[in-house]
Amino acid sequence: MRMDVEERRRRLGVRHALAVPVPTTEEVTRSLVALHSTDPASMVLSALARLEHPSIEAVEDALYAERSIVRVLAMRRTVFAVPSDEAADFLATVQHSVAGPEYRKLLAMVAASGIEDADAWLAAAHAAALAAFERLEDFSSAELQAIDPLLATRIEIGAGTKYATRQSIASRLLTVMSVEGSAVRTRPEGSWTSTRFRWSSMRRWLPDSADLPDAAEARTAVARRWLARFGPARAEDLQWWTGWTKGHTAAALAPLATVEVELEPGAGLVLADDLEPTPEPAPWVALLPALDPTTMGWKHRDWYLGLHGDRLFDTTGNAGPTIWHDGRIVGGWAIRDDGTVAVRVLADVGRAALEAIEARADHVEKLLGGAVVKARGRRWTPLEKELRA
């Protein structure tokens, strides 16, 4: 069976809530499996691009009032916002690949700081933090370290390098405990673009949060959700998206009922009950932010990226802001330091699409309300530099 580029583009538009926006931020998140959230502003902009009635307040309500989505440190040691009832699956998939290495890395820092019996000392600090969680409802790293002298101990970060510095164990421990699933990032200090988060116990923040399931079962659950939204796709696309090993990826896919289909070029997988063609949606355009899940969702991107990669991705492989038209990338955009939005179309899309793109840019600029979003967790792309000059 063959699935051509047009079918893949139709699926992308419909399933990623771009051709047909959805009512809630939770539905946006489920449509993409997970929202990239290392840069909090990018996460908000990804949601706004897909909401029927976009507002920053609607996204914040989902995160902090309804708590229907939650930020977790998961795949590729990256922060994602995921549906709260699925958070345990995402965390379970990275206990071996992320949580374990992060704890060992912190243990090495403790030892390099001259603390004797580093294993026992770090275990005691971990226990002290868990005890503090019972007393603190919502806290900053500084507030956590103030509650117990052990947590205020400063350790050497980057020992032996020119970037060496000293930092309290509390701030580093929170990162480890977030990937373990015991601590969670809550509301940022400052505006919606801030990267300085407050924290809470996961059990306090989400009282109904589930225990972590078996890792292999969790990987299969995540793989099923991903294929339902990103399929047809190659196994290496899933491996790239998750950061799993080739073996873990193959094992995650094995229990699923899938069908191999012919792509352009090569072959890919699709769920066996997901073979029906997608009806043609109405023409659509979208301005997606840097690191958006759609732009970054596949390793093999020629079928929607075309020849624009050099101008729209940074030198480390991270996507900048992109303009989409009917399932393909046709240009890029940027937020200038005065809060205005500039666009550059790189393909022939026709007059109607050009007008729709300009209208969308005006809409995004109004939603921003003068807020300026910087490149975080990535570098400026060549096109952004041109537009911001």
Q: Higher pLDDT residue, 265 or 290?
A: 290
252 φ/ψ angles, rounded to the nearest 5 degrees: -70, -35
pLDDT one-digit tens code per residue, 31-45: 999 999 999 999 999
Whose CA is closest to 63, among 206, 275, 201? 206
pLDDT at 158: 80
Per cent of the chain over pLDDT 70 is 100
User: In which residue are the tokens 């275990």 written?
Assistant: 123
- How far is residue 301's CA from residue 280's CA, in Å, rounded to a whole number? 21
pLDDT at 109: 93
- How far is residue 326's CA from residue 314's CA, in Å, rounded to a whole number? 24
pLDDT at 157: 86
Mean pLDDT for the stretch of residues 21-26: 98
Q: Does residue 225 lie in a domain region? A: no
- How far is residue 299's CA from residue 236's CA, in Å, rounded to a whole number? 7
pLDDT at 161: 81
Q: Does residue 352 lie in a domain region? A: yes
Q: Does residue 371 lie in a domain region? A: yes
Q: Higher pLDDT residue, 134 or 163?
A: 134
Band (pLDDT 50/70/90 cuts) for residue 96 is very high
- How far is residue 353's CA from residue 272's CA, in Å, rounded to a whole number? 35
Q: Does residue 13 lie in a domain region? A: no
Quick one: residue 113, left, alpha or beta (phi over 0 = left, psi -120 to 50 = alpha)? alpha
Band (pLDDT 50/70/90 cuts) for residue 111 is very high
Q: What is the DSSP letter of 95?
A: I
Q: Does residue 321 lie in a domain region? A: yes
Q: Does residue 136 lie in a domain region? A: no
Q: Does residue 191 lie in a domain region? A: no
Q: Does residue 89 lie in a domain region? A: no
> 335: domain range?
285-388
Domain count, the chain: 1
Residue length of the chain: 389
pLDDT at 165: 86
pLDDT one-digit tens code per residue, 333-362: 999 999 999 999 999 999 999 999 999 999
pLDDT at 160: 75
Per cent of the chain over pLDDT 90 is 95
Angle ∠(364,307,239) on CA atoms, nearest 5: 85
Band (pLDDT 50/70/90 cuts) for residue 305 is very high
pLDDT at 159: 74
User: In which residue are the tokens 């290392």 written?
Assistant: 38
pLDDT at 372: 92
Least confident residue range of 155-164, 212-221, 268-277:
155-164
